Amino acid sequence: MWIKNGAGDLVMSILKSASALLVGAAISLGAITSVTSSASAADLLPVKAKAPVIGPTVPLDVHGYFDLTFATTRITPGGLMIYPRGGYLSQPEVGLSIDIYKDPNGFINSVSVFGGVWNEFWSSPPPGGRTWQEMDWWAGFTVGFARDWKFTAQKLDFVFPSGGSDLQNYYFILAYDDSKLGLFPFAWNPTVKLFWTHHGGSAVVLGKTSDGYRFEVGVAPSWSMQKYWGIPLTFTIPTWVAVAPSSYYNRNDGTTNLCGATQNLPCGTDNLGLVSTGLQARYSLAGVVPTRLGSWYIKAGVQYYHISNDALLASQVITGAAPNFSSAHKDVVVGNTGIGFTF
């Protein structure tokens, strides 16, 4: 229906203006849509995710190791020779540790807890004897402090599958990292150890059967050939001396008179047990085995022991390492080789 006079002209004017606005809006919207559609298409393209950072930048708080050693015989750190010459020993060992505290800027720098198991198998047991000779297990903690010091305390038990009472021991170790001093081209790595047999017998056969203890004072200088020759080979010279109250080696109660040519004379009551030094080499297999499978290595070495304590020499007759006191081994070289990994 047509509307006449001035009102009709006004309506027609409004309609024309509205039409013009709609056309302009449509053109503008088309332009905007064209631009934004290009951006949207770009946004919809697949974006490659960044690779996760793995490795040294994400240090693990759980550490472990496996080690398999083959040795010609064994002498304990306190000086007891256990096996005669002949055959060989297989010694598998596993361990795990967990870091529970870290603060490089404080007096207490780290705290970790750990545990492990070690076994020993003898290839030539006597008739009726067992190949599996011993199992040791341990659990303890290590505290790092003053940046370069570490204190370790652990419970260490000796278990003998072939019979005999278990030995319940405690081991305390104070170690100092002197590598930052720069006084020598190598670190000495000094340690002081306290070994305490609380219950179960004597760790050296003829000593106190409970509450016996000894000290081990030593160093372990180490050199890496990677720095000089580009070879992932490390040499270590573990050296220590074992000393204790004389009763630790010889309880001297009349049952230990096994010395002399007749093997019925009292043994000496010395404080010195042994002196030991050696050369151990470890070669990294990082160039062969991927590090994602652990840090693998092979090793070999020799360790020299000088046993100067008469009671320790007489103990060799009881363990079977020597046929009589006169034939007891004062100077012994033990060879070893093996393989293992850490993570």
Residue 188's pLDDT band, with cuts at 50, 70 and 90, is very high
Residue 25: phi, psi to the nearest 5?
-65, -40
Q: Which of 69-73, 142-146, 197-201 has the lowest mean pLDDT?
A: 197-201
Mean pLDDT lowest among 14-18, 172-176, 210-214: 14-18
Residue at 129 is within a domain: yes
Query: pTM value?
Result: 0.81
On the question of pLDDT at 16 being above 70, the answer is no
Per the document, the length of the chain is: 343
Number of structural domains in the chain: 1
- Domain harbouring 88, CATH code: 2.40.230.20
Does residue 229 belong to any structural domain of this protein?
yes
Handedness of CA 291, 292, 294, 299 (dihedral sign): negative
Residue 16 lies in a domain: no
In a domain, 7, yes or no: no
> Residue 216: exposed, middle, or buried by beta-carbon count in 10 A (0-12, 13-18, 19+)?
buried
Q: Please check the confidence at residue 32 and state whether its pLDDT lies above 50.
A: no
pLDDT bin (cut points 50, 70, 90) of residue 227 is: confident
Task: Give the Cα separation of 12 and 4 in Å (integer).
Answer: 11
Q: What is the mean pLDDT of residues 285-310?
A: 97
Domain with 283 in it: 62-342
Task: Give the pLDDT score at 39.
Answer: 39
Task: Confirm whether 105 is domain-assigned.
Answer: yes
CA pseudo-torsion sign 201, 154, 271, 323: positive
* pLDDT score for 327: 97
pLDDT mean across residues, the chain:
87
37 occurs within a structural domain: no
Residue 270: CB partners within 8 Å, gap ≥ 6? Answer: 246, 249, 308, 309, 310, 311
Give percent of the chain with pLDDT exceeding 70.
Answer: 83
The kind and range of the H/E element at 223 are strand 222-224
pLDDT(37) > 50: no
In a domain, 54, yes or no: no
| Arithmetic mean of pLDDT, 186-199 | 96
Tell me what the mean pLDDT of segment 87-104 comes to: 98
Mean pLDDT of 215-223: 98
Residue 33 lies in a domain: no
Provide the pLDDT confidence category of residue 50 given band limits of 50, 70 and 90. low
- The secondary structure of 273-330 as a DSSP string is EEEEEEEEEEEE-TTTS-GGG-EEEEEEEEEEEEE--HHHHHHHHHHTSSSSGGG--S
How far apart are alpha carbons 108 and 104 in whole angstroms? 8
